[in-house]
Amino acid sequence: MTICGIDEAGRGPLAGPLVMAGVVFIKRVYKLDDSKKLSAQMREKLYEKIINATQYKIVIINNEIIDQKGISACITQGLKEILNALKAQKYIFDGNSKFGVEKVEPVIKADQTVKEVMAASILAKVTRDRIMCEMDRLYPEYGFCKHKGYGTKEHIEAMKKYGLSPIHRKSFRPKALQPTLF
């Protein structure tokens, strides 16, 4: 049975894009695991192996679209784009919701148990991490390469000091920043 594994990175950060990836294996890739359990160096190595051993689709949805549509609608959009791009008999998405997309089978902790989802997890995380490090070069005062846009204390303090950058999600409003920035 042909399986397409799907995962996302960047659902909850205060800045940057949502990145979703779908993967169908052509050749086997070894040493896969949940991207969160792997070192950045190992994820980078596996990224190249996955790209060369799969049919894949990476969907990047920027912060402005997230603010316009909402995160759930963006996840739905990403799932549909992946289903349209990759042919499989089964589509497994990490999590507990299929976001209204038929043919998607949500599986909790699939990024720890399904090789295709592990691979998708790695593609999504590496792609998003690379984008956030690139954004760090444009907006160094925020430290994006370090925290990847998540709501760390350091990031919140930078937002208080410098305001919102063009890649911040205006629809994500942490309590620590209200009402000052929004």
Banded model confidence at residue 118, pLDDT cuts 50, 70, 90:
very high
- Angle made by CA atoms 11, 15, 19, in degrees to the nearest 5: 40
Q: What is the mean pLDDT of residues 112-133?
A: 98
Are the beta carbons of 88 and 5 closer than 8 angstroms? Answer: no
- Token pair for residue 104? 């998607």
Q: What is the mean pLDDT of residues 138-158?
A: 96
**Is 182's pLDDT higher than 90?**
no
Q: What is the mean pLDDT of residues 64-80?
A: 97
Q: What is the pTM of this model?
A: 0.94
- Token pair for residue 78? 């990403």
**Is 10's pLDDT higher than 70?**
yes
DSSP-derived 3-state class of residue 181: coil
From the centroid of its chain, how far is CA 117?
12
Amino acid identity, position 82? I
Q: What is the mean pLDDT of residues 159-178?
A: 86
pLDDT reported for residue 172: 83
CATH of domain 3-177: 3.30.420.10
pLDDT in tens, 28-49: 999 999 999 999 999 999 999 9
Amino acid identity, position 106? P
Each domain of the chain, given as residue ranges in start order, spans: 3-177
